């Protein structure tokens, strides 16, 4: 099927969006400030992806991509210096057995030409991809995000405790009883959220990581993911991540694998071919491969390295990843992506201010990892 052209997409404009978005931003800022006391780790943590597992030096090699796939920064062969940050998806800093298996892979590339979409760092030269080990997301509007972000502060306890589970899920489904018509309940979002509970605890280097939200892809629209190469996946020796035996099982496994050998991922895109069956504004619906295949446009290589020191965690914690640190050819699209623009920025500003960290984009991986 022929890919949809970017200009065919029409954003949904809701009259209440701006007010709701401002409420979300204020809520996230409050939660970031409160995290110093709540998480008891002597610093503010992210409202999501609070626990970091490590920061790794990387390179991103763009291939010779034909036709529809040679767009934006993937239009011609090149190699980018990069770093990759792994983290847990929840907004808590706890032992691994008290957290779920939803984990993120954030990629930051350096020396990317063109102005950033972030107004306060137009000439930074950095380009981010924030990915997670699931295919769908559980919020699609600013209001959904505001209610659900508050509910997610109660996880994982709310789903572990049988007495709280039904109430929590009802609150989620009805946006705290504000949706009175069952036809408007958040069924897609609830199913997407429940899919995260099915993610197995595995070696962080064995997952496929997805953008979930859509992006402009030059003349077209796409989602992005990373998949371990067959050779890299076969080389993993630390398959078991036993969070009951080790409170830091995810990090220790990552540290061990990184020290022993190189690892690699294929960076792939899936072009939108049908705006109805591959909705941009509903990230809770999977884009099926029957409608559009995933195609490799670049490779992410992680050379063998030592990430076991505490200063690695400090560097990872200070590294900001946002889908809006991008270029016009890869503009995030859809309401939940627009919400992320200011939410991520405000969270980063508050966190760096509270922690006394300079908020500045690095010039290269060496600046972060030496």
Q: What is the Cα–Cα distance from 123 to 34, expressed in whole angstroms?
A: 33
CA terminus-to-terminus distance, the chain: 46
CATH fold of 6-369, please?
Catalase HpII,  Chain A, domain 1 (2.40.180)
**What's the confidence (pLDDT) of residue 150?**
77
**What's the confidence (pLDDT) of residue 143?**
87
Q: Which of 56-65, 100-109, 120-129, 173-182 is predicted with the least confidence, judged by mean pLDDT?
A: 173-182
Q: In this structure, how many other beta carbons lie within 10 angstroms of the beta carbon of residue 354?
A: 15
CB-based contact 268:227 (threshold 8 Å): yes
- Token pair of 286 as six digits: 């999977």
* pLDDT averaged over every residue in the chain: 93
Put simply, whether the predicted model's pTM sits higher than 0.85 gets the answer yes
**What's the confidence (pLDDT) of residue 144?**
86
Closest by alpha carbon to 25, among 136, 145, 139, 141?
A: 145
**What's the confidence (pLDDT) of residue 105?**
98
Q: Is the pLDDT of residue 79 over 90?
A: yes
Query: For the chain, what is the largest distance between any 2 Cα atoms, rounded to a whole number of angstroms?
Result: 56
**What's the confidence (pLDDT) of residue 306?**
97
**What's the confidence (pLDDT) of residue 337?**
94
The mean pLDDT value for 318-337 works out to 95
Closest by alpha carbon to 9, among 291, 288, 189, 214?
A: 214
**What's the confidence (pLDDT) of residue 88?**
94
Q: What is the Cα–Cα distance from 252 to 245, expressed in whole angstroms?
A: 12
**What's the confidence (pLDDT) of residue 151?**
83
Q: Is the pLDDT of residue 159 over 90?
A: no
The mean pLDDT value for 270-295 works out to 97
What is the domain partition of the chain in residue ranges? Answer: 6-369
- pLDDT digit string, tens, across residues 24-70: 888 888 889 989 988 888 899 988 899 999 999 999 999 999 999 99
**What's the confidence (pLDDT) of residue 328?**
98
Q: Is 75 helix (H, G, I), strand (E, B) or coil?
A: coil
Q: What's the pLDDT band for 134 if we cut at 50, 70, 90? A: very high
**Which residues sit opposite 104 in a β-bridge?**
87, 132
**Residue that the structure tokens 């908020």 belong to:** 359
- pLDDT digit string, tens, across residues 176-214: 888 889 888 999 998 998 898 889 999 999 999 999 999
- Token pair of 191 as six digits: 């199913």
Give me the DSSP letters along 126-140: -EEEEEESSS--S--
**Spatial CB neighbours of 180, under 8 Å, sequence gap ≥ 6:** 174
Q: Give the sign of the dihedral formed by CA 197, CA 202, CA 206, CA 209.
A: positive
Ramachandran angles phi, psi of 240, nearest 5°: -85, 125
The mean pLDDT value for 265-278 works out to 98
- pLDDT digit string, tens, across residues 297-319: 999 999 999 999 999 999 998 89
Q: Which of 144-153, 246-255, 301-310 is predicted with the least confidence, judged by mean pLDDT?
A: 144-153
CB-based contact 172:151 (threshold 8 Å): yes
């Amino acid at each position: 099927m022929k890919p949809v052209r970017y200009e065919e997409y029409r954003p949904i404009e809701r009259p209440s969006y701006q007010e709701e978005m401002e409420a979300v931003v204020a809520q996230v800022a409050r939660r970031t400030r409160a995290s110093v006391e709540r998480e008891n780790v002597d610093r503010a943590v992210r409202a999501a992806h609070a626990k970091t597992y490590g920061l790794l030096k990387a390179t991103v090699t763009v291939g010779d991509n034909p036709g529809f796939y040679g767009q934006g920064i993937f239009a011609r062969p090149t190699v980018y210096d990069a770093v990759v940050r792994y983290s847990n998806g929840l907004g808590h800093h706890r032992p691994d057995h008290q957290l779920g298996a939803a984990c993120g892979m954030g990629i930051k590339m350096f020396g990317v030409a063109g102005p950033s979409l972030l107004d306060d760092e137009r000439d930074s030269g950095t380009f981010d991809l924030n990915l997670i080990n699931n295919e769908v997301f559980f919020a699609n509007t600013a209001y959904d995000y505001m209610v659900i972000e508050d509910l997610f502060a109660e996880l994982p306890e709310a789903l572990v405790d049988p007495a709280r589970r039904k109430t929590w899920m009802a609150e989620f489904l009805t946006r705290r009883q504000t949706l009175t018509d069952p036809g408007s309940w958040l069924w897609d979002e609830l199913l997407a959220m429940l899919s995260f509970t099915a993610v197995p605890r595995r070696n962080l280097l064995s997952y496929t990581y997805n953008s979930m939200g859509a992006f402009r892809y030059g003349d077209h629209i796409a989602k992005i993911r990373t998949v371990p190469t067959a050779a890299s996946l076969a080389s993993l020796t630390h398959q078991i991540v036993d969070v009951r035996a080790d409170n830091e099982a995810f990090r220790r496994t990552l540290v061990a694998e990184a020290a022993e050998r190189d690892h690699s991922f294929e960076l792939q895109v899936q072009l939108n071919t049908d705006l109805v069956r591959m909705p941009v504004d509903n990230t809770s619906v999977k884009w099926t491969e029957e409608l559009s295949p995933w195609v490799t446009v670049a490779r992410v290589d992680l050379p063998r390295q030592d990430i076991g020191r505490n200063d690695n965690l400090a560097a990872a914690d200070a590294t900001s990843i946002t889908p809006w640190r991008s270029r016009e050819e890869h503009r995030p699209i859809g309401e939940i992506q627009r919400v992320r623009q200011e939410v991520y920025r405000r969270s980063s500003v508050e966190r760096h201010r509270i922690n006394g960290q300079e908020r500045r984009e690095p010039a290269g991986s060496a600046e972060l990892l030496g």
